[in-house]
Amino acid sequence: MNPLYQQMQTSVFERMSALAAQHGAVNLGQGFPDFGWPDEILDVAAKALTTGSNQYPPSRGIMPLREAVATHYHRHFGQPLTAEQVCVTSGATEALGAAILATVQAGDEVIIFTPAYDSYAPMIRRAGGTPVEIALQPPGWRIEKDVLQGAVTPRTRAILFNNPHNPAGRVFDRGELEAVASVAREHDLVVISDEVWEHVVLDGSSFTPLATLAGMAERTIKIGSAGKIFSLTGWKVGWMVAAPELANVVARAHQFLTFSTAPNLQAAVAYGLEQGDAWIQPMRDRFQRSRDRMTEGLRNAGFAVLEADATYFLCVDLSASGIGLDDEAFAITAVERAGIAVVPLSAFAERNPPRHLVRLCFGKKDETIDAGVAAMARAKEMLP
């Protein structure tokens, strides 16, 4: 048995969703919306299931989807991409795994910014590397160039960057992107840029792909996910985009992870990326309304809520809300006794994680938000 997995805990998302189901709690833990997917895309998928192929598609993805990814990014961000630069994966999680396996070797260090998505550190370790954490500090969660520069050693191979950031709920600004880019250029690093939340930006804020910065297209492996763009997290259709040679190497890692991804879902995602530009702004408006509703409800119940203008997550500061429990103890008590599942932020870092913050998913219908806020208020009343 591999001790890495023997000592590992079940993912925080799985754990909190299971507890939510067990206790009949409102589940604002694991991030998935309970509304918002476009019906048209479901119709295309259903049709593709009955009239299209149900056999192995090419490992790198069906050509219409690879072309749709390339043209989508050209249209939205002006990137001159071709289908050869795209490899379709089973969700962003697999793309991250393939990108890490393809770039990291034994002894390499990979810089990650914490709080970080939970698969980063275990996958870096499995590839033989060491994750080097840079802790972003709430409430601003800013990347400081000198701190990043100071984390680079002769062993540093890559930076694993996530923008817009889950769970901070923010888009990094131009200065922060330039900091990442200049450190990567100066030390000849690869950047695995997890941009799955690229379209979920609120309050009119805008997102810039890292690969569009000077000198970055050739060293960036960009990761995207239809799960976020179309609110279809269960489909697990994702992709990575990189310069042709880098893309070839990642595609070889992917071919021995999942080989390929359901062809009918790929066809529907291709349709969505081509035809669905008009769905994006209404999605943002809807999530923004949900965020405002949840923020107001939580503040009225006496919670300190951090600002969030990207993703569908917000963080609550427990200590500033007058709650003495740490995040994990609060999460367990809240799900068992108050009927609300949240995610403790300490699950997103290994070294000195923040223990006073919990994450809530606001990508929910009004009634789910209201039930969640009422349960949070109950939790607050019953806790020290």
Phi–psi pair at 24, nearest 5 degrees: 60, 35
Q: Of 255, 271, 229, 274, which Cα lies nearest the Cα of 89?
A: 255
Partner touching 91 among ligand PMP, ligand GLN, none, CB below 5 to 8 Å by kind: ligand PMP
**Minimum CB distance to ligand PMP smaller for 250 or for 325:** 250
**Minimum CB distance to ligand GLN smaller for 44 or for 308:** 308
Q: How far apart are CA 294 and CA 299, in angstroms?
A: 8
Partner touching 238 among ligand PMP, ligand GLN, none, CB below 5 to 8 Å by kind: ligand PMP
**Minimum CB distance to ligand GLN smaller for 57 or for 227:** 227
Partner touching 182 among ligand GLN, ligand PMP, none, CB below 5 to 8 Å by kind: none
**Minimum distance from CB of 225 to ligand PMP (Å)?**
3
**Minimum distance from CB of 156 to ligand GLN (Å)?**
26
Partner touching 196 among ligand PMP, ligand GLN, none, CB below 5 to 8 Å by kind: ligand PMP
**Minimum distance from CB of 80 to ligand GLN (Å)?**
30
Tokens of 201: 């930006």
**Minimum distance from CB of 304 to ligand GLN (Å)?**
21
Residue 196 Cα distances to 48, 138, 294, angstroms: 25, 22, 23
């993912």: which residue's tokens?
11
Q: How far apart are CA 171 and CA 310, in angstroms?
A: 6
Partner touching 284 among ligand GLN, ligand PMP, none, CB below 5 to 8 Å by kind: none
DSSP-derived pairing of the beta strands 313-317 and 238-241 = unpaired
Interface residue list for ligand PMP (CB under 6 A): 31, 91-93, 117, 162, 166, 194, 196, 225, 227, 233, 236, 238
Closest residue to ligand GLN: CB criterion: 31
**Minimum CB distance to ligand PMP smaller for 225 or for 264:** 225
Q: For residue 35, how many other CB atoms are within 10 A of its CB?
A: 13
Tokens of 34: 């309970």
Identify whether the C-beta of residue 2 lies closer than 8 Å to the C-beta of residue 284: no
**Minimum CB distance to ligand PMP smaller for 222 or for 236:** 236
**Minimum distance from CB of 227 to ligand PMP (Å)?**
4
Partner touching 30 among ligand GLN, ligand PMP, none, CB below 5 to 8 Å by kind: ligand GLN
**Minimum distance from CB of 381 to ligand GLN (Å)?**
27
Identity of residue 249: V
**Minimum distance from CB of 269 to ligand PMP (Å)?**
11
Q: Which long-range contacts (CB under 8 A, 24 or more apart) does 176-181 make?
A: 176/142, 176/143, 177/208, 177/210, 177/213, 178/213, 179/143, 179/144, 179/145, 179/148, 180/143, 180/148, 180/210, 181/210, 181/213, 181/214, 181/215, 181/216
**Minimum CB distance to ligand PMP smaller for 67 or for 194:** 194
Partner touching 13 among ligand PMP, ligand GLN, none, CB below 5 to 8 Å by kind: ligand GLN
Q: Of 307, 310, 305, which Cα lies nearest the Cα of 363?
A: 310
**Minimum CB distance to ligand GLN smaller for 166 or for 266:** 166
Interface residue list for ligand GLN (CB under 6 A): 11, 13, 30-31, 166
**Minimum CB distance to ligand PMP smaller for 103 or for 162:** 162
Tokens of 150: 């100071």
**Minimum distance from CB of 311 to ligand PMP (Å)?**
7
Partner touching 225 among ligand PMP, ligand GLN, none, CB below 5 to 8 Å by kind: ligand PMP
Whole-angstrom distance between the N-terminal and C-terminal Cα of the chain?
A: 42
Pick left, alpha or beta for residue 283 (phi over 0 → left; psi -120 to 50 → alpha; otherwise beta).
alpha
**Minimum distance from CB of 121 to ligand PMP (Å)?**
13
Partner touching 266 among ligand PMP, ligand GLN, none, CB below 5 to 8 Å by kind: none
Name the 3-class secondary structure at 192: strand
Residue 49 Cα distances to 134, 236, 269, 331, angstroms: 44, 16, 13, 40
Q: Of 27, 298, 8, which Cα lies nearest the Cα of 306?
A: 298
**Minimum CB distance to ligand PMP smaller for 97 or for 297:** 97
